[in-house]
Amino acid sequence: MTSLGEETPDTSSASTGRVVPPSPQPSARPLALSARAAFLRRHLHLLPSGIACALGFVWLSLTPSLLPRPPLFQGLVSGFAAAAGYGVGVLASWCWSALRDRPRRAWPRPAHLMLLVGGVVLSVCALLLGAHWQNGAHRLAESQATPVTYVLLVPPVATLVALLVLATARGIRAATRRLIALLQRWTGPRAARAIGVLTVVLVTVTTASGVLAEAALGALDRSFAVRDLTTPGWAEQPRSPARSGSEDSLVPWDSMGREGRVFVAGGPTPDDIEEVTGAPAMEPIRAYAGLGSADDAEARAALAVEDLERAGGFDREHLLVVTTTGTGWVEPSAASGFEFVAGGDSAIVSMQYSHLPSWVSFMVDARRAREAGRSLFDAVYRRWTELPAADRPDLYVFGESLGSFGAEEAFSGEFDLANRTTGALFVGPPNFNELWSELVEERDPGSPEIEPVYRDGRTIRLTTRASSPPPSGRPWEGSRVLYLQHASDPVTWWSPDLLLQRPDWLEEQRGADVPGSMHWAPLVTFFQVSADLAMAFSTEPGHGHNFSGEHAAAWVQLLQPAGWTEDMTDELRQMLRRP
């Protein structure tokens, strides 16, 4: 039944009288499948130009660098390289189409086939060659050879990392498009596009560098602050008045921080020292102030020096001022090595300036390391100069890694070091150390960057081998300052200059543990050495940023103890080494 004036379609056949069924309506299911396919094509489609460039970046990531890499880490590096390469390839393709003012053309089928076959073949060759290079790097670094699984693990890990990065980037792109579509309701297409892109870029950068970075740093600081409250099971409160944190000390045990408590609870006993030197030994003095010991750097330095004087540190023959790394860590090989070589007639003073590891501490607030180095040395030096000249101990300075940066900041140059110290040992200097950079830049003609000679080695010597710093055969009189650095240490050789400038250390003869197959390439070397920074602390002693045990020979060079032999140095080196 129909309403008035409404036409009813004729579904009957005039000739047969049979009822003709209505034509079927399109099903919703094929439409849903079509939309899903379009979504997958839009979000999973990869441009051939991007894939080709991504493969090239992956191959470059497998080339030799300063340090060997485990398979999982290489996969991570290659994955980020692939994602970056894909972005560069897509951008280049877009720019080329824009310059030609033509729509982008699809690659012909033969080109797709060539990319597939050539990409697979060349990737396999690159992986095998990369494994060969890695084995060579392992041999030089005296570490375990590359496992067979290298070739099997790198591709899937790299693919997963690249896809995650790409998915994140496309998520940001989708958010940008939605914002632009929303803005077009109120403004024109060009204005909407400009405002939308700018908004997403600002939000992404602010979130990554601001909110997320601040949250990450806050979490790190809280984590290390909590860790600072803990103490290893073996570290007990000292009973000897020669140590800060004891009942006689001016510095409370609980205020010293984890690394401070480890420092004053450790070290060799007189019997340990006598076993190496064969002579009677004194108990070494160790003074330390933590972040909780005083309110600021100047007050902590003053407290540490007061406790040093209370313990009799200024009455010893050798006095060492140590600038710690970020967490307040004093390199045990350096501290103990100094005490062994000094025969126990020594005192060491140090203090904490941060909860954070060195690399974070430098990025967030290098001022603290600089302030700590200056405050502590100035406090010690002020009290030291008040003593009669004949009664002053030999005054030494030590800093490793970021500690060398802070320790350097107390001095203006060579003559300042010579006038105010008996000697100094700076180990693993980062490339941003100003004094070290000046010494390398102004080195004597003909001396290499990895082992430069400065002013014929009259006061300052720089070496990769503590037992024989150049120039050989020249007397080393007066104050002696030694820089110990490794040719394979990315902390020392990383610099933004690597982006576009070939460094001397890759132009001159390679260091003993640097692969001869490593060559400089614009951009590539910078990113390779940047990746090496993550592995710098994981090497065997004597390579990368691991100087454990080498402090023994360095202190022998600086203190020049009477009756000391090479066999004693070798024994002490092995004793102080840690993997």
pLDDT at 171 (0 to 100):
87
pLDDT at 28 (0 to 100):
52
Query: What pLDDT band is residue 265 in, cutting at 50, 70 and 90?
Result: very high
Question: At residue 183, does pLDDT exceed 80?
Answer: yes
CA-closest candidate to residue 427, choices 375, 465, 482, 374: 482
Question: At residue 11, does pLDDT exceed 70?
Answer: no
pLDDT at 241 (0 to 100):
97
Distances (CA, A) of 73 to 481, 493, 526: 37, 21, 17
Distances (CA, A) of 483 to 357, 427, 436, 528: 22, 6, 8, 25
Question: At residue 112, does pLDDT exceed 90?
Answer: no
pLDDT at 482 (0 to 100):
98
- Virtual CA dihedral for 561, 564, 567, 571, nearest 10 degrees? -50
What's the average model confidence in pLDDT over 366-376? 90
- Kindly state the DSSP code that residue 20 receives in the 8-state scheme: P
Query: What pLDDT band is residue 22 in, cutting at 50, 70 and 90?
Result: low
pLDDT at 566 (0 to 100):
95
pLDDT at 311 (0 to 100):
98
Secondary structure of the chain: what % helix, strand, coil (to 5)? 55, 10, 35
Confirm if 272 and 280 have CB atoms less than 8 A apart.
Answer: no
The string over 205-226, giving b where at least 16 C-beta atoms fall within 10 Å of a residue's C-beta and e elsewhere, is eeeeeeeeeeeeeeeeeeebee
User: Cα–Cα distance between 438 and 488 in angstroms, integer?
Assistant: 21
What's the average model confidence in pLDDT over 256-279? 96
Question: At residue 5, does pLDDT exceed 70?
Answer: no
Query: What pLDDT band is residue 97 in, cutting at 50, 70 and 90?
Result: confident
pLDDT in tens, 199-253: 877 777 666 555 555 566 566 666 667 777 788 999 999 999 999 999 999 999 9
Helices 551-559, 332-341: crossing angle, 10 deg rounding = 40
pLDDT at 10 (0 to 100):
46
Global model pTM greater than 0.75 = yes
pLDDT at 220 (0 to 100):
63
User: To the nearest whole number, what is the mean pLDDT of the chain?
Assistant: 88
pLDDT at 215 (0 to 100):
62
What's the average model confidence in pLDDT over 264-293? 96
Question: At residue 20, does pLDDT exceed 70?
Answer: no
What's the average model confidence in pLDDT over 250-273? 96
Of 5-19, 436-450, 563-577, minimum mean pLDDT range: 5-19
Question: At residue 19, does pLDDT exceed 80?
Answer: no
pLDDT at 483 (0 to 100):
98
pLDDT at 201 (0 to 100):
77
User: Cα–Cα distance between 390 and 381 in angstroms, integer?
Assistant: 15
More confident residue, 297 or 219: 297
More confident residue, 243 or 40: 243
What's the average model confidence in pLDDT over 84-91? 92
pLDDT in tens, 328-347: 999 999 999 999 999 999 99
pLDDT in tens, 120-142: 999 999 999 999 999 999 999 99
Domain residue spans of the chain: 45-225, 238-486+547-576
Question: At residue 3, does pLDDT exceed 60?
Answer: no
More confident residue, 93 or 55: 55
Query: What pLDDT band is residue 185 in, cutting at 50, 70 and 90?
Result: confident
What's the average model confidence in pLDDT over 16-21? 50
Query: What pLDDT band is residue 457 in, cutting at 50, 70 and 90?
Result: very high
Of 228-242, 249-263, 382-396, 422-436, minimum mean pLDDT range: 228-242
Question: At residue 37, does pLDDT exceed 70?
Answer: no
The single residue listed with the structure tokens 């037992």 is 467
pLDDT at 8 (0 to 100):
42
Question: At residue 397, does pLDDT exceed 80?
Answer: yes
User: Cα–Cα distance between 441 and 435 in angstroms, integer?
Assistant: 10
What's the average model confidence in pLDDT over 516-531? 95
More confident residue, 361 or 505: 505
Of 38-42, 168-172, 486-490, 524-528, minimum mean pLDDT range: 38-42
Query: What pLDDT band is residue 109 in, cutting at 50, 70 and 90?
Result: confident
pLDDT at 17 (0 to 100):
47
The single residue listed with the structure tokens 């700076």 is 426
